[in-house]
Structure 1
Amino acid sequence: MKDPTSPILVVRGLTKEFKGFAAVSDVNLTVRRGSIHALIGPNGAGKTTCFNLLTKFLEPTSGSIVYNGHDITRESPAHIARRGIIRSFQISAVFPHLTVLENVRIALQRKLGTAMHFWKSVDTLSPLDPRAMALLDEVGLADFAHEQTVNLPYGRKRALEIATTLAMEPELMLLDEPTQGMGHEDVDRVTQLIKKVSAGRTILMVEHNMNVVSSIADTITVLQRGSILAEGPYAEVSANPLVIEAYMGSAEVELQGAH
């Protein structure tokens, strides 16, 4: 039985060196169960490298990663996904020439362990349709179920990607720049969607948009040059002189101007 008060993820001393250069250096991170936790920082701060270490696309040079009380530091990406850590990628990862419904159905097949059964007739996959439609409804795409994905606006493609991530039944969702490249309207829609799907789940997100972070993140960790510069709620972090100095210029204005 999981202790609801225990952290879902505890990272200690996480370090990744590339030929002597420390892209991530001695990072300690505790993610509370049921929270939305944001990783922010200037370009080159090590945010995506950190994500790659947590999902084991990169092996850490040193340090430990403990998830739900289990040390997963040396586990494979597939093992980690089976434990319920599912990552949504920075570049929209959907099949453009399949319908919206078919994309979610493929994600459900992956969860069932039948991902390679593409040669099966469509009829044998129809039992997945009710669950697929429920997921599309959750992300506001039910009306687009039979639309070819390539025709979706960019923001709705990202919503579809969240639906395919949800199909994997994540306990911890890792979202990598979920609003990157979006116009204001799409940013608002996807921000509200993240807030909605966070119910009963934990979300760790890399995000550059301070308005998004300030409106939905419970805890913010600021990285700079691979190390943690500051951590806490938005009001505290955004007022930190070291954080303001790290962002400088336009980003400083953005930090102070977010609501």
Structure 2
Amino acid sequence: MSDAGIILQTHGLTKSFKGFTAVNDVSLRVRRGSIHALIGPNGAGKTTCFNLLTKFHAPSSGSIHFNGADITALRPAHIARMGVIRSFQISAVFPQLSVLENVRVALQRKLGTAYHFWRGRQSLSKLDGRAMELLDAVGLAGFSHLPTAELAYGRKRALEIATTLAMDPELMLLDEPTQGMGHEDVETVTALIKRVSAGRTVLMVEHNMSVVSSIVDRITVLQRGAILAEGSYDEVSNDPQVKEAYMGTTDEAADLHARAEAA
């Protein structure tokens, strides 16, 4: 994999908390235009790794490069302005606002007008056209004026993806996008991620192997904060170390692999 095709790269990324090493010497390479997944058992360091990449935590050592630029010392807001936008495990939309207003807030942030409270509502209407385009892209155009609190859980996650897209990300970081969803919502959001990934790069943490097997190009497996294996879904799902560390016993691994293949 040549450096020219790499959008995000870490070298020896490490984070320790009072003697506990949560991320240990992680060197990650994410190819531009791909969907790349971080997987691993609970406590493997996946979310901490996300926090390092988006600068919610400062690394204890190592470096992070985005589009060839060293971003290790930059602040989260600077990283976001460069095009690295993250969603969270828990839906991060504003329940008291309408669906349309949530997307409009994200568009205001992108324009740098999020805190211009003295502006009248009418002055923000110029954002409605783009907001509706984004809602249409995630299948929510028909819910634009509904209070967000009334949306079903799966639709709230779709709205979160729309607000992420409103920030015009070059690299989207999705933290457990299908967590807590029923089967139908999982299928809908999986198809949505695949659709909106066109022209972008997606790095995601995901436990659902059906999702991983169906849309991900490359997988990095973490165990105890370190990289255990990397490769395609077939490569990592057949790796004996991965089966033991991530999928549990051999029987459990075989069952999980069979279910993922059938999905």
For normalisation by structure 1, the TM-score amounts to 0.97
Matched letter for residue 204 of structure 1: L
1:159 aligns with: 158
1:221 aligns with: 220
1:202 aligns with: 201
- Can you list the C-alpha shifts for 1:50-79, whole angstroms capped at 9, x where unaligned? 000000000000001000010000100011
Distance 1:74 1:86 in 2: 17
2:98 aligns with: 99
CA contact (8 A) 1:100 1:160 kept: yes
Distance 2:75 2:164 in 1: 19
1:149 aligns with: 148
Corresponding position: 1:258 with 2:260: yes
1:248 aligns with: 248
Instruction: Between 115-124 and 88-97, report the one with greater CA deviation.
Output: 115-124
Deviation at 1:117, TM superposition (A): 2.2
Task: Say if 1:115 and 1:4 are closer, same or farther in 2 by CA, change over 3 A.
Answer: farther
Distance 1:13 1:193 in 2: 33
Matched letter for residue 57 of structure 2: L
Task: Say if 1:38 and 1:84 are closer, same or farther in 2 by CA, change over 3 A.
Answer: same
Distance 2:212 2:117 in 1: 39
How many aligned residue pairs are there? Answer: 257
2:49 aligns with: 50
DSSP-derived class of the 1:174 partner: strand
1:135 aligns with: 134
CA contact (8 A) 1:4 1:33 kept: no
Task: Say if 1:224 and 1:251 are closer, same or farther in 2 by CA, change over 3 A.
Answer: farther
Task: Say if 1:152 and 1:25 are closer, same or farther in 2 by CA, change over 3 A.
Answer: same
Matched letter for residue 158 of structure 2: A
Task: Say if 1:140 and 1:50 are closer, same or farther in 2 by CA, change over 3 A.
Answer: same
- The runs of at least 4 consecutive aligned structure 1 residues that moved more than 4 Å come to none
Task: Say if 1:112 and 1:251 are closer, same or farther in 2 by CA, change over 3 A.
Answer: farther
Matched letter for residue 155 of structure 1: G
Matched letter for residue 15 of structure 2: K
Unpaired runs of 5+ residues, structure 2, are: none
Corresponding position: 1:33 with 2:32: yes
Matched letter for residue 206 of structure 1: V
Unpaired runs of 5+ residues, structure 1, are: none
CA contact (8 A) 1:238 1:256 kept: no
Distance 2:11 2:258 in 1: 31
Matched letter for residue 70 of structure 1: A
Matched letter for residue 175 of structure 1: L
- Can you list the C-alpha shifts for 1:209-252, whole angstroms capped at 9, x where unaligned? 00000000000000000000000000010000000001204862
Deviation at 1:255, TM superposition (A): 3.6
Q: Percent of pairs identical after alignment?
A: 72
CA contact (8 A) 1:40 1:220 kept: yes
